[in-house]
Every structure is written in C-alpha cells, then in structure tokens.
Amino acid sequence: MTGAPAAVPAASGAGSASAGPRMLRVGTRGSALAVAQTTMVAERLSELSGLPYEIVRVTTTGDTSRASLSSLGGTGVFATELREALLQGECDVIVHSLKDLPTAKAPGLEIGAHPVREDQRDALCSAGGAGGLGLLALPAGARVGTGSPRRVAQLRSVRPDLDIRDIRGNIDTRLGFVTSGELDAVVLAVAGLTRLGRTDAITERIDLERFPGAPGQGCLAVEIREGEVVPGVAELDDPVARATATAERRILARLEAGCAAPVGATAEYHQGQWRIWAGVYTLDGRTALTSRREVRVDDGSVLARIAEDTADAVTGDLFDQGAAQLIAH
C-alpha cells in the first residue's frame, strides 16, 4: 500500500535526497486495526514531510499463535518481528499500539513520537450494540469474553457472577462471538473500535475511575532507529500523550508487571490539572490495591517531571499496600 501528498510524485523506493523524494516505508502488523492506525500515521507523516509512503506488513508471533496472550508472555509478542524489520532496514519507522510494547527500551531503537491519544476507556459490547445490556444489567451467568487478565479481574470485582471466557482474535472475530450468540458480551478497547469505525458495536464505555485502563491504552508508538532523524516524526509527537503514557508505563515497569498481570493505570492532563491513578488486582477480583495523585500544573514545560514524580508516588503507595506480593501470586 502506498500513498503520497497530491503535489508529490510517488517514488518507487528509497533513494538519496538529490535523486528526489524517497519513500517513507512504514512497518506494521497485518491486522485490519494495525493497518488502519498505521495508515493514519503514515498519511500524517506524509503531510508533515512532503514524502510519499509505503505500508510494509510484517507478521508477528502474536498474529500467528492462537495461545492466550498471558501464556505467550504478553508484551512483546506483537513487536519482536516488527522491530527486527526496522533494525534490518526493511522499513524506516514502525507503528505499535503502545500497550503491546514491553516497558524496557529496545536496543538500537527509540520511540520517536506518540501521536495525539485516542479514548483510553474499555468498551462493553453486548448484543444489540448501543441498545444492548450494560455491565450491571447483564443477567447472572452471562458469558463475557476478554483476553486481558486486567479486564478479567476488574469484571469480577463488580460482577463475580459472570462467566468470563478467554478469547483471541481480531476485533471482528471477537464481535462475531456476540453476534453468533456464543457470548453475551465482549470487552474491547474503545480506541480500536473508533479507529476501525466500529463504535456502533459499543454498548457501554466503562468509566476509567472504576476500571483504569491498560498502561498506554489508546496511545500509539512510532519507533525509529536510535539517533536517526525521520522526516515528520518529531512534529508528530504530542507532549500530553507522551507524558500520560510514560507515567502509566513507569508504574507498570516499577511494579515489574507485564500485560499478564492484572494492573491498570490511567493518567490525564486537562486544563492544567494532572491526575493519575492505578490499581493492582487479584485475578478473582476480590482484592484491589489502589492509589491516585492530583497536581495542578500551570507550566506545561514541567509536565514530564511531574508525570514521573506522581507515577513514582503512586507506585510507592501500591508497594506499601503489598502490591509486590499480590503480583507474585
């Protein structure tokens, strides 16, 4: 798949600046959602740089295995092959859903941009879409599908009577479990449904105050080779998206918890108010450790430091409550 600004002729491949515009090769997983959000990024990069682009699809372990994400090790299963393609020069940038990335930096690579963040909430999608039954209205024993231990724990914390089923597959596959009647509802990210134009399937957007999201949910990461300058990438970076996502992932990293652990963290910055809160859960939902911080930040230039400081404070609170022991079990 290729694209270019109307005024810029598409190039057939990479080349030097003196030979004319070169092609920006943008790597992605091959799923419909990954391609849709990567195309959004590629089009914006093309606008900012004046260069044409090509979408390079890479198959990852997470795409080919049908095992549960927690058994595969969670974070990294959608990123390893993409990163290898970038390091080998098969593409110039790669685009990830940030929540799919390990918190540790990849050798030789860096995140060059976090574009403006999409909705961070989870969505309950039940039969009937917008007219369906919400979480609290589902009947006892209702079958609800998710592949996320965090969502399992949060669902059980408010509805221990539900029959939670582990599911895999792309968004259409998961929604298909509901339309076929195999499941009564599934829980998905609002961001993915929005980017695919499937918000019609959303029955309820779950309040982040009740269910803090996966660290980085709704945020994209544009990764480049370390030290390289790729046209348009720096301009694509949104400081608020970077600060909120960095703070959430700092909590995850300090807790030494991957996506197989029931951990939720959400940060927000709006009209000078910085808020961050997190929860660590047992998988049965019976125990939840929580912490939050709120700070007035009138000088945006210190947002990055405030984000780190409050993330550390929240993590310290969780450790004081016994989070390390909870995660270990």
161 DSSP assignment = T
Q: Is 91 a catalytic residue?
A: no
**Of 168, 225, 254, 275, which is the active-site residue?**
168
Spatial separation of the C-alpha atoms in residues 72 and 80, rounded to whole Å? 13
Spatial separation of the C-alpha atoms in residues 108 and 24, rounded to whole Å? 19
Spatial separation of the C-alpha atoms in residues 288 and 286, rounded to whole Å? 7
Q: Is 151 a catalytic residue?
A: yes
**Of 25, 174, 195, 242, which is the active-site residue?**
174
Spatial separation of the C-alpha atoms in residues 77 and 242, rounded to whole Å? 23
Q: Is 259 a catalytic residue?
A: yes
Q: Is 150 a catalytic residue?
A: yes
**Of 91, 125, 219, 259, which is the active-site residue?**
259
**Of 22, 29, 100, 195, which is the active-site residue?**
100
Going by C-alpha positions, the residue among 91, 114, 120 that lies closest to residue 41 is 114
Inter-residue contact 225 to 111 (CB < 8 Å): no
**Of 151, 156, 198, 249, which is the active-site residue?**
151
**Of 150, 195, 242, 250, which is the active-site residue?**
150
Going by C-alpha positions, the residue among 158, 231, 130 that lies closest to residue 144 is 158
Q: Is 105 a catalytic residue?
A: no
Tokens of 118: 């999409």
SS3 132: coil
Q: Rounded to whole angstroms, what are the CA distances from 269 to 91, 243, 257, 265, 274?
A: 33, 9, 24, 14, 5
**Of 22, 99, 195, 293, which is the active-site residue?**
99
Phi (first) and psi of residue 176, to 5 degrees: -65, -30
Report how many helices (DSSP H) and strands (DSSP E) the chain contains, helices first.
Answer: 11, 14
3-state secondary structure 272-326: CEEEEEEEEECCCCCCEEEEEEEEECCCHHHHHHHHHHHHHHHHHHHHHCCHHHH
Spatial separation of the C-alpha atoms in residues 177 and 182, rounded to whole Å? 5
Q: Is 168 a catalytic residue?
A: yes
Q: Is 63 a catalytic residue?
A: no
Spatial separation of the C-alpha atoms in residues 129 and 237, rounded to whole Å? 34
Hey, which residues are catalytic here?
99-100, 150-151, 168, 174, 259
